[in-house]
Structure 1
C-alpha cells in the first residue's frame, strides 16, 4: 500500500525550467568570477561547481567541459557589454560623442559588476596561452573589433576623422580599451580619471602643442565647453 504522506521520490536529470534558469545564471556568474581572478588553466570543474552551489555531476547537466563553460561565459559577457555599448553609441551622432558614451558605459558597468572587466582582461592572456581558447574565440573577437571600426567610420562621415588616419585611430581605441580593462578596472576612481584624460586628449585640451597660441576650450563629460570669457584658473 502506498503511503500518501510519503515524500515523492526525487527526479533525476535536469532540474525544472525555473530552477534550471537560476542555476545556469549562478554557474555563469560564479565561473566569470573564478576565470577573471585565476585565468582559464587554474580553475577546475570542482571549483566551478562549488562557486555555483552545485555538485560536479550536476554541472555536467549544463556544460560538457570547462572549455564549453568558458565559451558560454565569454558569450554572455559579450552580449552584456555590447548590448550596453550599442545603446550608448546609438544615443549620439558624432565620433567624439559616441566614444564618450561608450567609455562612460564601460565605467558604469565596471562599477556595477567589476567581474566583467576582470574577465575581459584575463581573456587576452588566455588567448595567448591556450590555443584551444584562441581557436574558438577568434570569430567573437572579430565581431568586437568591427564595432569600434564602425564608430571610427562615423568620424570619417562627420569629417571629424581624416580617412588617412583611420588605422591610427583604430589602434589608439584598441590601446585605450586594453588600458581601461587591464590597468584601471580595479579602481573606479582611476578608471574615471583615465576616461576623462582620454577624452581631453581627443578634444585637444589635455596637451597644448602650441603654448603660445590660444588654448581650445575644455569640454565637460556632457559635451559642453567652458565659457571662453571665463578667466583661466592658475595652473
Structure 2
C-alpha cells in the first residue's frame, strides 16, 4: 500500500494492545505520525512506539485516562507541540465489563460510560481545533457488535457503544462544514488475547462468522486506515462492520 497518510498526524486512544495497537501500527504504515495513548500501561505504549519507530515512522507516547478531560487536553496539546497538527482521531479506548443488571450499581454503570462515551466526547472536544485546521480531518470511533445485537450481562457496555453510534451520526452533521468526516468501525468476533481469569464473553458464543474464522485486530485496523485516507472522503456518518459476516445489518 502507498503512504497515503504521509504528513498526517493521528491520535489513537487505547493504543497499547490488541485493536488499538494494530490501528496505531497500521496508520503509521500509511505514513502518519502517531500519538500512542494508553490509560496507565506505559510499557505497552512505549512498545508500540518502538515498533513504529523501528519501521521508520514517528510516534509519541502519552499516558492518560480519556475519562479525565484535563488529561485529554494535555494529550491534544502534546500532539500539536510535537507534530504541529492533528488530522486523525481514533477513539478506541473502552472498558468491557460483564455484570448482571440486577447486580449492577451506578458506579459500575458510570465506569463504562465515563471511558467509552464521555472519553470520546473529551477527545473530540480537545482535538477539534486542530482537526478544523487540518481541512480534511477524520474521526473514527470504534463501536461494538453488542450495540447492534444486544448482549446478556452487558447493559452498560451495550448502552455506551450504542451511544457511540448516535454520537458518530450527530458529529457527522455538526462537523461537515469543517471538512471533518466522522465514521464508526464496528469490530465483531476479533481474536485478541484474554486474561486467564476473563473467559470469552458469553455473547460471542452465540454468533458465527460467514468466513468461518475469527478476525484479527489488523482486519479492523485496515478498515480504519481506509476511512482515514483520501479515497474515503465521501464516506461520512456511517457504521461500518468488520465482523466476517457475524452480523448483517446497518
* Same-fold status (TM-score > 0.5): no
Higher helix share: 1
Say which structure, 1 or 2, has more relative contact order (CA 8 Å, 6+ apart): 2
- What is the TM-score of this pair, normalised by structure 1? 0.26
Larger strand proportion of the pair: 2
- Given the two structures, how large is their TM-score scaled by the length of structure 2? 0.25
Q: Which has the larger radius of gyration?
A: 1
